[in-house]
Chains A and B, each alone.
Chain A
Amino acid sequence: VSGSREERRLSALVERSKRGDTAAFEELTVAHSADLFRLAAAMVGPDDAADMVQEAFVMAWRELPRLRDVDRWESWLRSILMNKCRNALRTRSRRPRVVLLEPDRHATVRHLTHEPMREVDNRWAMHDALGSLRPEDRAVIVLHYLADLPLRQVATVLGLRLGTVKSRLHAGLQALRAVDQEDKLA
């Protein structure tokens, strides 16, 4: 009962925010800040997380009148955030996108598809254990294992087919296990 009451409260806040009510939007910001901050931190690191979430909230505020279905608010907000995080990762580790073909070209290309996170953040002294993942696989891992979203909801947030989400999850876990094995051998 309390869950549905909370959902109704959030829906009402979204409706009011759509009409330009900043007080209502502030309540939404309070309600979602922590969860979104943790998602962003897991994606881009704690240092840049606040900027990512702030940009996502401001974009959501600006575009909110165009959100037709208020029930989609949460997944819509998450989508905005994950899009920003993914773009940030891309910009951060942008590298040549074109690889001329060599006999072992596919091995080469697969190697290049990894976009390592930047250096370990000193303030948090936190090793980025997901740093070997591509942003796309990383997003699936983070939404599923940190936000605890079922894969179907992960697919909704990322705008992917369920099968694609499953394959990205599989690929991500394989990559993580490979790194884990390498660490053990080292």
Chain B
Amino acid sequence: MSSLPPDARRYLHRMRSLEPPIDFVDSVMAEVESTPQVRALIDLRALVGLGVAAAAVVVVAVLLQLVTSPSIEPGATPTPLDQLPSAGQVDARYQVEVDDVPVAFGHGFLWLTNAATGELIRLDPANGSIATPVQVTEPGRTVPIAVSAASVWVADRRDASLVELDPSSLEERRRLPVGIAVDAIAAGESDLWLLDRAAGELVRVDPAQGAATLTVRAFGTAVLVHGGSVWLVDGLGELTRIDLASGEETGRLDVGIAAARIAPDGDSVLVVGASDDPVVRVDIGSMRVLARGQPVRAVDAEGGRVWAVLAGSDLVGLDPVTLQPVAALALDPTASGTLAIGGGFLWATAIDAAGDAYLLRVRPQP
């Protein structure tokens, strides 16, 4: 405790001596006794003795519950992955740097970033050719990127600026000083939203004006513009919906996982945890949890299809309703937990036993 100022040290020391009220456990248990536990599945053993018709009704109820009542953690996977239909096939493999991560697809290119070097990499999906990597920020930093209709935007921590790049030439068009350490960028139709995690700021930038137009006080780990709102998730499990025009909070939901990433999917957003938390689908209108799947390392969605990379190196197609795997492909070499969709392909990175990294181009099964 030596690094704490004396006042704070005394405060915490005082806390160590506190005890809960003497009847505290009784009080907790009184409420526990009257609180039913949530069960993902009805215990079918309780139905022994009932007639066949009644059992059938219960089975239907169980199935409905599985669909409509998502669980904090999913039950056992109904079908082993190796017995599922193939999710697709790897039809090309490109050697990349270990820290290259596919993050976006746009303007006909796959865009990768490398946090170790602070570089942006552009890959042509047609032939796998890589343009000369562009140093966009300092090494050792996440490279925030957003692809808008006309440009690619990155943030440069070296001078706290937002940089507009020409996607074709990769030349810098503009450099806008924003004065914050940008951790993530989300592109809307006409604005960009910049997240500074440490400062707890979400800044809206109007590229037409070349200036910031709004600052929202908001803590989060990832940001997304989707369905007419800004979406923010944080490591304590909250999903916040923010009005694009006013910056006012219009909804908040505890999704129950330590959220690290968020992806758009039609009328929903998919929230992914930092470690082994399940992927969660949330309806963007009602802000109701529609489904909880199993833990994933990366997820992306396009055209109503949801794809994910699991911890065991499997690339899986997820049922859009239940978020359970319905197709699988064991990636070889071992997947490193990244995924992007674009150009008709799924893109994932993998590392072999020798430590060489590859970008895998997967043609999904129709």
Of B12, B28, B29, B237, the most chain A CB neighbours within 10 A belong to: B28
Say how far A59's CB is from chain B's closest CB, in angstroms: 9
Q: Does A12 contact B (CB under 8 A)?
A: no
**Which positions 1-36 of chain B face chain A at CB distance < 8 Å?**
1, 3-8, 10-12, 14-16, 18-21, 24-25, 27-29, 31-33, 35-36
What are 29 contact pairs spanning A and B, CB under 8 A?
A22-B29, A33-B20, A37-B19, A37-B20, A38-B18, A41-B18, A58-B32, A58-B35, A61-B37, A62-B36, A65-B39, A66-B38, A68-B73, A97-B216, A97-B217, A98-B214, A100-B215, A101-B212, A112-B217, A126-B14, A127-B11, A129-B11, A130-B11, A141-B8, A159-B259, A160-B221, A160-B258, A164-B198, A180-B6
Bound-complex Cα distance A98 to B246 (A) = 8
Instruction: State whether A171 and B38 are in contact (beta carbons under 8 Å apart), knowing that A61-B32, A159-B235, A176-B4 are contacts in the complex.
Output: no
Q: Which residues of A contact B200 (CB under 8 A)?
A: 113, 134, 136
**Which positions 188-237 of chain B face chain A at CB distance < 8 Å?**
197-201, 212-219, 221, 235-237
Q: Which one of A66, A87, A156, A176 lies within 8 Å of B72 (CB-CB)?
A: A66
Say how far A109's CB is from chain B's closest CB, in angstroms: 5
Q: Does A86 contact B (CB under 8 A)?
A: yes
Bound-complex Cα distance A180 to B254 (A) = 35
Of A86, A97, A167, the most chain B CB neighbours within 10 A belong to: A97
Say how far A110's CB is from chain B's closest CB, in angstroms: 6
Q: Does A13 contact B (CB under 8 A)?
A: no
Contact: A97 with B248, CB < 8 Å?
A: yes
**Which positions 117-161 of chain A face chain B at CB distance < 8 Å?**
126-130, 134, 136, 141-142, 145-146, 156, 158-161
Contact: B11 with A101, CB < 8 Å?
A: no
Interface of A is mostly: helix
Chain B residues within 8 Å of A, Cβ to Cβ:
1, 3-8, 10-12, 14-16, 18-21, 24-25, 27-29, 31-33, 35-40, 71-73, 179-180, 197-201, 212-219, 221, 235-237, 246-249, 254, 257-260, 273-275, 277
By Cβ-Cβ distance, the 3 closest A-B pairs, closest first, are A159-B258, A129-B11, A180-B5
Q: In which size bucket is the chain A interface? A: 35 or more
Bound-complex Cα distance A114 to B40 (A) = 41
Bound-complex Cα distance A110 to B1 (A) = 27
Q: Does A88 contact B (CB under 8 A)?
A: no
Q: Does A6 contact B (CB under 8 A)?
A: no
Instruction: State whether A26 and B25 are in contact (beta carbons under 8 Å apart), knowing that A67-B73, A112-B217, A164-B235 are contacts in the complex.
Output: yes
Chain A residues within 8 Å of B, Cβ to Cβ:
20, 22, 25-26, 29-30, 33-34, 37-38, 41-42, 46, 49-50, 53-54, 57-58, 61-68, 79, 82-83, 86-87, 97-101, 105-106, 109-110, 112-113, 126-130, 134, 136, 141-142, 145-146, 156, 158-161, 164, 167-168, 171, 173, 176-177, 179-180, 183
Bound-complex Cα distance A32 to B223 (A) = 36
Contact: A160 with B235, CB < 8 Å?
A: yes
Bound-complex Cα distance A92 to B258 (A) = 23
- B197 to A, closest residue via Cβ: A164
Q: Which residues of B contact A66 (CB under 8 A)?
A: 38, 40, 71-73
Bound-complex Cα distance A98 to B273 (A) = 27
- A61 to B, closest residue via Cβ: B32
Contact: B10 with A129, CB < 8 Å?
A: yes
Contact: A101 with B214, CB < 8 Å?
A: yes
Bound-complex Cα distance A62 to B31 (A) = 11
Contact: B180 with A106, CB < 8 Å?
A: yes
Contact: A101 with B37, CB < 8 Å?
A: no
Q: Which residues of B contact A50 (CB under 8 A)?
A: 20-21, 24, 27
Contact: B198 with A29, CB < 8 Å?
A: no
Given A134-B200, A160-B258, 11 extra CB contacts under 8 A: A20-B37, A29-B25, A50-B24, A67-B72, A79-B236, A101-B212, A106-B215, A109-B217, A127-B11, A129-B5, A177-B5
